[in-house]
């Protein structure tokens, strides 16, 4: 099992899920800025030139959601998915895909703050709108977590490994002070032994230079 990976990226979702399953993949680590994701060899694995890509069971799978669904369905003994027929199948799928609604906004903010070659091209208007949109996606999680510890009422699942990464990245752009239930959820995530092991394996992130990015600051 080999995971094509960048620290503090969406591939952490897969790394954490595998840790919950007791698996430690071989890690092949890339950089966003050095062109290694654009080589023909890598594009054969992940056509958009993004991580994660996971080599497993004779497949090369890209997209963190697809990888997650494959892993929980092919390894049901861990109880981290909700398979067809399960009463929580719909909320499980909704949470899995809601993670990408949030992830898309984080990616847009990363582009504006981190990856523009010329920072003068950053749009304060876009940054404000996207940060507000991201904050709006956190509010429903705050409501849900008022009555349960994890994304599903029955307990921890791969929906948490998908959404959890978002809540590590989102505080770079959105203050979590108004969301006490979300903050408590993040602390529960961080207390899980598998999360801690995944962080040990993750490696040093190299693109965020500040804890928080605010309009008017450089």
Provide the token pair at 133: 């949109």
Q: Are 70 and 134 in contact (CB under 8 A)?
A: no
Highest mean pLDDT among 104-118, 136-150, 195-209: 136-150
| pLDDT, mean of residues 43-57 | 97
CB atoms within 10 A of CB 116: 13
Average pLDDT, the chain: 95
pLDDT at 30 over 80: yes
89-192 shares the fold of 2-78? no
| pLDDT, mean of residues 81-101 | 97
pLDDT at 188 over 90: yes
Reported as a pLDDT band with limits 50, 70 and 90, residue 68 is: very high
pLDDT at 218 over 70: no
Domain parsing of the chain, residue ranges: 2-78, 89-192
Q: Which residues neighbour 214 within 8 Å (Cβ) at sequence distance 6 or greater?
A: none
Question: Looking at the domain that runs over 89-192, which CATH code has it been given?
Answer: 1.20.1050.10
DSSP state of 149: S
Reported as a pLDDT band with limits 50, 70 and 90, residue 79 is: very high
pLDDT at 217 over 70: no
Taking only the tens place, the pLDDT of each residue in 113-137 is 998 888 889 999 999 999 999 999 9
Whether domain 2-78 has CATH 1.10.10.520? no
Q: Determine the Cα–Cα distance for residues 84 and 217; give it in Å rounded to an integer.
A: 48
* pTM, two decimal places: 0.95
Most distant pair of Cα atoms in the chain: their distance:
52
Cβ-count burial 23-44 (b if 16+ within 10 Å, e if not)? bebeeeebebeeebbeeeebee
Taking only the tens place, the pLDDT of each residue in 99-110 is 999 999 999 999
């Amino acid at each position: 099992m080999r995971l094509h990976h960048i620290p503090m990226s969406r591939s952490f979702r897969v790394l954490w899920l595998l840790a919950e399953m007791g698996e430690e993949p071989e890690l092949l680590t890339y950089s966003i800025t050095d062109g290694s994701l654009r080589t023909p060899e890598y594009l054969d694995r992940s056509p958009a030139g993004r991580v994660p890509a996971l080599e497993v069971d004779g497949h090369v799978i890209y997209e963190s959601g697809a990888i997650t669904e494959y892993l929980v369905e092919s390894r049901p003994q861990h109880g981290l998915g909700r398979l067809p027929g399960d009463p929580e199948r719909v909320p499980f799928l909704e949470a899995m895909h809601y993670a990408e609604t949030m992830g898309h906004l984080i990616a847009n903010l990363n582009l504006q703050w981190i990856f523009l070659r010329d920072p003068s091209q950053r749009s304060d208007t876009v940054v404000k709108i996207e940060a507000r949109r991201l904050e709006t996606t956190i509010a429903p999680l705050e409501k849900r977590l008022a009555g349960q510890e994890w994304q599903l009422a029955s307990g921890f699942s791969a929906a948490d490994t998908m959404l959890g990464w978002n809540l590590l990245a989102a505080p770079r752009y959105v203050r979590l002070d108004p969301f006490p239930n979300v903050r408590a959820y993040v602390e529960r995530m961080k207390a899980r032994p598998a999360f801690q092991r995944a962080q040990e394996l993750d490696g040093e992130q190299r693109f965020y230079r500040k804890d928080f990015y605010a309009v008017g600051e450089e």
